[in-house]
Structure 1
Amino acid sequence: MKCVIVDDEPLAREGIQLLLRAYPEMKLAGCFNNAAAAGSYLLLNPVDLVFLDIRMPGINGIDFARSLGKTTMVIFITAHVEYALESYEVDAIDYLVKPIHPERFQKAISKALSYFNLLLQEKNDTSIEFGSQAFLFVRADRQFVKVDFKNLLFIEGLKDYVILHLSDQKLMTAMNLKAIHQKLPPELFIRVSKSYIVNTTYIKVFDNNNIYIGEQEIPIGNNYRNFFFETFVKDKR
């Protein structure tokens, strides 16, 4: 998988390069200290993944991410936690806060590799064959897998794909979040942001900004917050 690093801090670029040495499948194609230089390079040299800072001189990372092609993945790496929600709005693969711990970096790389491997597979016209009020079948790894709604914790959208987070595994399939949302029973699943659909059965803890399912922190989008509190919260009072 080809990748580049875009960060205006030399030490940050060096740190990411050191972490990447543990992953031979990652091929570093270049390092850039600003988005404009990276953009010029990517016009002629497309890559699969961009490690991207947010606060940089000139074009910031969020705006630069919006300019990238649909198949180019982004992992934001920044010292500023306040941009986390906005990063999901541009379909970022992950959001890492400096200083980066190797274990957290490994999780982000694993997620990117899963997405990349799916892109290499032959696309099918549909990813859902059939279902019912209790389950559906999704196409994953070139086979159909039964997904029981009772075991489906939440769904995460990544561009034109979704990751189904089950109680015992994760499945990735070619479908956008809107399409799969239409196949789910509305009394059980609620969309809480541009990138997440949550099984309300598993909502045990939440605040004004996030829902917590196990160790997963799921952001509540600004455009979905009122709907979440007016439907899910009021119904539980």
Structure 2
Amino acid sequence: MAYTKRTGMTEEEFREHKRALQQKSYRKRQEAAGKAPRKTYATEAERKAAAAAAQGRYYNRKKHDEEWRDNLNACYRQRYRAKAGPAKPRLTEEQRRARQKAYRVSYVRPEPTAAQRAKWSERAQARWAEYYANQTQEQRGARLAAKALYRETEVRPKVREIVEHIKYDFAKAASDASRQDVADEWADTALSCWLTAKALWYFDVAKLMAQYGYEDLQNSL
């Protein structure tokens, strides 16, 4: 503190003065040892010039890459035209739609005939008969337990839901003609959905269906 007062420096100025002396001594020792001097920082003008030069090199390289890519694509197009031959005539919108429609129709699987259905049914029955004949008692018990669980947890709730839906449709119909339409619709659904076929076996639903000409529906399913 006495030295600071004697020189007229504040503590901060004295600290900077000591740091400058240390840096000067360090540079002298480095020069005496033959080492390169400490790297000096570039000015703002030099920094901006270097950045502009780097940016120019980047854009020139990018421009060169784009030109090279365009030339390569031109070579590809030229080779494709040489191999493909003359250009094909363009289709009209009607021709394009007709071709797409024909393509979609060609991939539709045809409905199986009655003979095919009977053949598949015989094969399935034969496979199940072989499976039942070769299964053990443990396998049969596990299969029946799984079947019972499936009926109680999956089939019965779904069938009850369909039953309520059928009764709701009948109750919502205002005229006798609309009720006949509801009966026809559910009868058609039962032919393709076995859950609906089971729902039509319920007494309250079967009684409603019998009123509109479907009293023998269960026998036909």
Bin of the TM-score, shorter chain as denominator length: under 0.3
Query: Which structure has more helix as a fraction of its residues?
Result: 2
Greater relative contact order (Cα 8 A, min sep 6): structure 1 or 2? 1
TM-score (norm 2): 0.24
